[in-house]
Homo-oligomer: A and B are copies of this chain.
Amino acid sequence: MSAATPYVPPIADYAFLYREAFGRDIVAAASGGAITADDAVEIIAGAGEFAAEVLAPLDRAGDRIGARLENGEVHLPDGFAEAYQALVEAGWVSATAPESAGGDGLPESIGAGLGEIWNGANMAFALCWMLSAGAIHALDAAASDELRETYLTKLVSGEWTGTMNLTEPEAGSDLGAIRTTATPREDGTYSISGQKIFITWGDHDVASNIVHLVLARTPGAPDGAKGLSLFVAPRTLVNADGSLGERNRVETVAIEHKIGIHASPTCVLSYEDATGYLVGELHGGLAGMFVMMNSARVGMGHQATGISDRAYQGAADYAAGRLQGSVQDRPAGAPIAEHPDVRRILRSMSSQVFAMRALAVHVGDLFDRAAGDEAVLPMAELFVPILKGWTSEEALRVTSDGIQVYGGMGFVEETGAAQHYRDARIIPIYEGTTAIQSNDLIGRKVLRDGGSTVGALFAQIDETTAALRATEGAVAVRIADRLARTVDAARRATDALLAFGPGRDASAVSVPYLMLLGTLSGGWMHALAVVAVAAHAEPAEADAARLTDADFYSAHHLARVHALAETVAAGEIA
């Protein structure tokens, strides 16, 4: 029975992506040879082994039992604390932390693989690691030496975990409405008071302390988002010698009863005269938080990929074993994986997963290259909302497809397909809803530079189309034709958006435009894979499947660009 489908880390895909899908060893190219694709594959394989053995087996119990709030303390199911300690001891927390913060500073392209694997194995658990990673980025960017010494080092070592405290009951997507106050005390610390909601891993029993990063408003600060400052408010205060002191005045008032990620405690935290320490500049809170949010948004692309692949693995395993439809030569029936429509669904899932995975690696690579070449940064930043928005929306489709493959058994909780569907539903909401991503996309990334960055993307896709045609393979040329027509449609949609300019017309079709660029980018990733496969002197084992996935994606998913382009051109209909 499929409940026992083991998690298989997608090592071959990462090897292909690091080594050849983009026409070169991207890891070596971005690191100047300091680290190579072969090193990356070894790291990914190690992470995959750890995830499959330690994290994946806790995923179902995490869902069934979930995090519990008892006497003001949050408890995770048995095994979570041990798994977290094992993660720390294996060095996986410090692996992706920047070198400037004392971490190993692994390239972002490798971070994409790690992020996918932790999330694929156990999405609720992975969130703990992801939130710490975000807090590390924010403190590394802005914290004083004292705060770095006291808090950042403990986050990087994994001894403590981190959280982001943004949302309040009346301040969701609109951070300007935040009311939590931070009042300066004579000793230089701040007194923090207010209620924060939706705090992921806001309390738990898997590590000895929690470093809350809190957005709050100081007395007399400007209205709106520009008046916000960022503070560290640890769950337990830290003595001068670094040892833990008394509890800070922050209480876990409730944890949410959610449709999914039951083992990720989503807390309501109440701060009442809690002690906080200013991070960075006064009223510079939003800038500090944006550092954290960008890393978290890219991380959501890894999460969406991971949960989608997990759903695919379960469905493929079930479909291979489930016999239905007896035929002459097989009286017991054929595996449903061979039935045309199940085959369609599985191919739809696998081709989406590859597109997401490849785009996440590409975005990681862009950030890696941008570290040495500022000119790459706009393209990297263009992709942040696309990666977050598109993969998270597609994860809903993929995990739903996963249920469909199981048929009636998919609606029953025991198979696990339902859990992936429930878990995935949060991804298009947190770290900025798809609408928030799409507003960022059209406002800051497309309209602001008059479409020049997105135009450069289209030009890159044109090059790939030409390379496809040059292979002269029948499938490659068919894909090239489809890709060329969709790039045309994307250009028309972009022209329509630029003609609208900022305002309601552009905003009202910003999500369709984001989905258009994501879908197109996914098709581009497949096209790059086909070009790479065509260069093989001898066909590799996975080549046929890569061609079929690419062909399928271009006929079933990429075709949606035509519909989305029509929608974008319509503007607001109200």
A residues near B, CB below 8 A?
167, 170, 172-174, 176-177, 197-198, 224, 256-260, 323-326, 333, 339-344, 347, 396, 400, 403-404, 407-408, 410-414, 418, 421-422, 425-426, 428-430, 433-435, 438-439, 482, 504, 507-512, 548, 551-552, 555-556, 559-564, 566-567, 570, 572-574
Contact = CB atoms under 8 A, between A and B. Distances in A.
A259 B422 contact: yes
Given A257-B413, A556-B567, A198 B408 contact: yes
B326 A176 contact: yes
Nearest to A419: B259
Nearest to A322: B172
A153 to B, nearest CB: 32
Given A326-B174, A341-B508, A551 B566 contact: no
B562 A566 contact: yes
A411 B260 contact: yes
A15 to B, nearest CB: 25
A344 B511 contact: yes
14 contacts: A173-B324, A173-B407, A177-B333, A224-B326, A259-B421, A341-B507, A343-B508, A407-B433, A408-B430, A411-B425, A422-B422, A548-B573, A555-B573, A559-B567
State the copy count for this chain: 2
Contacts of A574: 343, 347, 548
A177 B326 contact: yes
A551 B573 CA distance: 7
A347 to B, nearest CB: 7
A529 to B, nearest CB: 15
A528 B429 CA distance: 36
A556 B568 CA distance: 9
Contacts of A429: 403-404, 407-408, 410-411
Contacts of A344: 508-509, 511
Contacts of A343: 508, 572, 574
Given A343-B574, A400-B396, A429-B407, A174 B325 contact: yes
A413 B258 CA distance: 5
Contacts of A561: 563
Given A174-B333, A177-B324, A556-B567, 6 more contacts: A256-B411, A344-B511, A410-B429, A548-B574, A559-B564, A560-B563
B559 A573 contact: no
Given A174-B324, A177-B326, A421-B259, A507 B407 contact: no
Nearest to A519: B563
Contacts of A167: 408
Contacts of A257: 412-414
B559 A563 contact: yes
A414 B259 CA distance: 10
B413 A341 contact: no
Contacts of A403: 425, 429
Contacts of A339: 435
A555 B567 contact: yes
